[in-house]
Structure 1
Amino acid sequence: MTKVAIITGISAGMGHAAALYFKEKGYEVYGGARRMDRMQDLAEQGVHVQELDLTDKISIRQLVDRTIKEQGKIDVLINNAGYGEYGPLEEVPTETAKRQFEVNLFGANEITQFVLPTMRNQGYGRIVNVSSIGGDLYTPLGGWYHATKAGVNMWSDVLDMEVKPFGIRSVVVQPGGTATEWQKVALENAHKNLQDNSPYEALVDREEEISGKFSFSATAEDLAKVFYKAATDAKPKRRYFNSIGDHAAVIFARTMPNAYRAIVSKIV
């Protein structure tokens, strides 16, 4: 029997790669993003695409209802949609911070609430929540982003305890540095969030300079395979990482917070 997956944020990056990979693996894939023009290639490959805004409950409900109407079930939900908006905590407008929570955390919760009744009636289902190693690690300017991803981690863990008795599992994928446009966009937003004559301008410039020195070998296609493993493992783990290095960095930050802070402070 064909399996069915809903994936959010499929217009680019990891979500786009995951939609193609799950389709390749025989899934009926439903998904969306705000820009329809960036999903035409997915539609041509047989992915069921539609416009999706995770801050709009009607938009979310339409995607879930369409999936259930056409397929009658949902095996997997991948909460991939999200973004990073950097900037100094003193200057980032609170409304901007709220929007990042609305997309990265509350949007995931909204679509999950719509999906859970179907999964519970089935007696099975897998919810894969895409967080980041930035849910445990942190750097200056990323305060609100890190807070959203730390929130995703905790939310997913609590959800897993609540839905496990119904045969449903909620797990987290924590990508590290990936060869996508994410870092570039986050730092562009940091410049936008600076006030006139900001005392943090030098910090933003320095972060941008440091970021430019790093190159990431992990690709969106690599992470799509991690998503698939998280979605299909017979005995799911609470956390999935693309590399040993990503996992080690999280363990270090969790178990040696003072040493982690000292290292980051020297770098930035």
Structure 2
Amino acid sequence: MFATARTRDEADGLSKRARAEGLDLRVTTLDVSDPPACEAAFEDIAHLTAGGPDAVVNAEGFAVAQAVEDVTEETAHRLMEINTFAAMRLARLVLPAMRRRGRGRIVNLSSAAGRSVLPLGGWYGASRAASAALTHALRMELAGSGVQVVLIEHGFHATGLLEDAVRSLTPPSNISTHVTDCYRDAAAALSDPTRFAGPDRAAATVHRALTARRPRARYTVAMDARLAAPLIASLPYAISDPVKRLVLGLAEYP
């Protein structure tokens, strides 16, 4: 098995944990937003596996929790690059070999934020909605090829994505002091480790998606993704919008 990590420290930590679990795992650092680096990494994997991987899990993600007008062009591009473009880039790299073999599996991790957008989550939700749409299209295009495509949508859980979101809430808003106060309150809520489950359930769902003989097209992880997000998305905006604004503390913002 092969795995990638953003930094050398993360790669070393993952390798150490794999050894402790008795797993044969090769870990390398990879910036999924760097096309040449992705090509080189998958060329190495193809060489070591005599053709390329049987399955790919696209689990890289990046989160920002700011008002739409506070998010810079650079940050918006980074969100779309990591959460949307990278998964399709890796799919393009592995699909030719999978088609030739007549089998393969691509599992893309996304978020319920793409279906039920919250205030301060516009750009993050946009990146996840785009990822879900592209995964859906890819699944239809590959029907009959032997390559199966699966989307996993998670809710809130304690991972590096929450840490990304909290960091993004640290600078004051350029809009108003009231929005800055909302950032502070949101950061406090996201920083509470007792409010969110760990990544174990999401990892178990990935395992199910990889090993099931006939995987579902879409899996949802956690109650907020399975029940709350679809319910809220089905409500009229006249009802859901004020509720979301109230929850985020924006109800008094003109």
Work out whether the TM-score is over 0.5. yes
SS at match of 1:195: coil
The 5-angstrom pairing of residues 27-176 of structure 1 reads: 29-44=1-16, 45=19, 46-72=24-50, 73-176=52-155
1:221 matched residue in structure 2: 200
Runs (5+) with no aligned partner, structure 2: 249-254
Q: Indicate the SS of the match to 1:200.
A: helix
Q: What is residue 238 of structure 1 aligned with on the other side?
A: 217
Paired with 2:231 and 2:35, the residues of 1 have a C-alpha distance of: 38
Q: Following TM superposition, by how much is the alpha carbon of 1:189 offset from its aligned partner in structure 2, in angstroms? A: 1.1
**Most deviating of 235-244 and 192-201:** 192-201
Aligned-partner Cα distance in 2 for 1:51–1:214: 28
* Residues 70 and 214 (structure 1), Cα distance of their counterparts in 2 relative to 1, 3 Å cut: closer
1:252·1:260 contact (CA, 8 Å) conserved in 2?
A: no
- Structure 1 residue 265 and structure 2 residue 235: aligned? no
The CA deviation string for residues 219-246 of structure 1, in whole angstroms up to 9 with x for no partner, is: 2122111001112222221211223553
- Map 1:183-262 → 2, pairs under 5 A: 183-192=162-171, 194-195=173-174, 200-212=179-191, 215-258=194-237, 259-262=239-242
TM-score by length of 1: 0.82
Distance 1:194 1:245 in 2: 28
Q: Which runs of 5+ in 1 are unaligned?
A: 1-28
State the distance in 2 between where 1:58 and 1:155 align. Answer: 22
For 1:170, what is the secondary structure of its paired residue?
strand
Are the equivalent residues in 2 in contact too, given 1:81–1:104 (CA < 8 A)?
A: yes
Alignment match, 2:157:
178
Task: Return closer, same or farther for 1:265/1:195 CA change in 2, 3 Å cut-off.
Answer: closer
Distance 1:237 1:140 in 2: 30
Distance 1:245 1:34, change over 3 A: closer
Shift of 1:192: 3.2
Q: Shift of the alpha carbon at 1:48?
A: 1.0
Structure 2 vs 1, CA of residues 168 and 228 (structure 1 numbering), >3 Å: closer, same or farther? same
Percent identical: 25
Letter in 1 for 2:111: S
Cα RMSD, aligned residues only: 2.1
Count of aligned residue pairs for this structure pair: 240
Q: Quick check: 1:31–1:63 contact (8 Å CA) kept in 2? A: no
- Distance change in 2, residues 1:260/1:233 (3 Å): farther
Contact kept? 2:15, 2:25, Cα under 8 Å: yes
Task: Classify 1:267/1:225 alpha carbon distance in 2 versus 1 (closer, same or farther; 3 Å).
Answer: same
Distance of 1:170 and 1:70 partners within structure 2: 24
